Structure 1
Amino acid sequence: MRPTWTDASFLLAASLLVALGGCSTSKDAVLPHGDSTMLDIWNQETGGGASSSQASRRLLDARQSLRRPLTEADIRAEQAVNSTYTRTAANEIYRQFHRLPNPDLVMYVFPHLAGTDPAPVPGYTTVFPLYQRVQYAMPGERLEAY
Structure 2
Amino acid sequence: MTRNLNCNLLASAVCLGALFLSGCSTTKEEMLPTGDHTMLDLWNGADGEGGTSRQSAAARDTLRRPLTDDEHRKGTQDDRSYSRTQETEISQQFSRLPNPDMVMYLYPHLAGGNTPVPGYSTVFPFYSQTQYAMPGERTEAL
Secondary structure (helix, strand or coil) at the match of 2:57 reads: helix
Distance, in Å, in 2 between the alignment partners of 1:65 and 1:10 is 67
Which of 75, 80, 83 is 1:83 aligned to? Answer: 80
* 1:32 maps onto 2:30 in alignment: yes
* 1:135 maps onto 2:136 in alignment: no
* 1:74 maps onto 2:71 in alignment: yes
Distance, in Å, in 2 between the alignment partners of 1:131 and 1:143 is 16
Q: CA shift at 1:92, angstroms?
A: 2.5
8 A Cα contact 2:133 2:139, kept in partner: no
CA displacement, residues 108-129 of structure 1 (integer Å, 9 cap, x when unaligned): 9xxxxxxxxxxxxxxxx87543
| Structure-to-structure mapping, 1:100-111, within 5 angstroms | 100-106=97-103
Secondary structure (helix, strand or coil) at the match of 2:56 reads: helix
Which of 14, 37, 43 is 1:41 aligned to? Answer: 37
| TM-score (structure 2 length as normaliser) | 0.55
Secondary structure (helix, strand or coil) at the match of 2:11 reads: helix
User: Residue 111 of structure 1 aligns with which residue?
Assistant: none
User: Residue 16 of structure 2 aligns with which residue?
Assistant: 19
Change in 2 beyond 3 A, CA 1:63/1:44: closer
Q: CA shift at 1:98, angstroms?
A: 0.8
Q: Structure 1 vs Structure 2: percent identity of aligned residues?
A: 39
Distance, in Å, in 2 between the alignment partners of 1:86 and 1:9 is 78
What is the total number of aligned residue pairs between the two structures?
120
Change in 2 beyond 3 A, CA 1:24/1:39: closer
Give structure 1 stretches of 5+ with no counterpart: 109-124
Distance, in Å, in 2 between the alignment partners of 1:44 and 1:76 is 34
- Kindly report the root-mean-square deviation, in angstroms, between the aligned alpha carbons of the 2 structures: 4.3
8 A Cα contact 1:100 1:136, kept in partner: yes
| TM-score (structure 1 length as normaliser) | 0.54
Distance, in Å, in 2 between the alignment partners of 1:128 and 1:8 is 76
Distance, in Å, in 1 between the alignment partners of 2:6 and 2:104 is 65
Change in 2 beyond 3 A, CA 1:40/1:86: same
* 1:95 maps onto 2:88 in alignment: no
| Structure-to-structure mapping, 1:49-68, within 5 angstroms | 52=51, 55=52, 59-68=56-65
Q: CA shift at 1:66, angstroms?
A: 4.4
Which amino acid counterpart does residue 129 of structure 1 have in structure 2? P
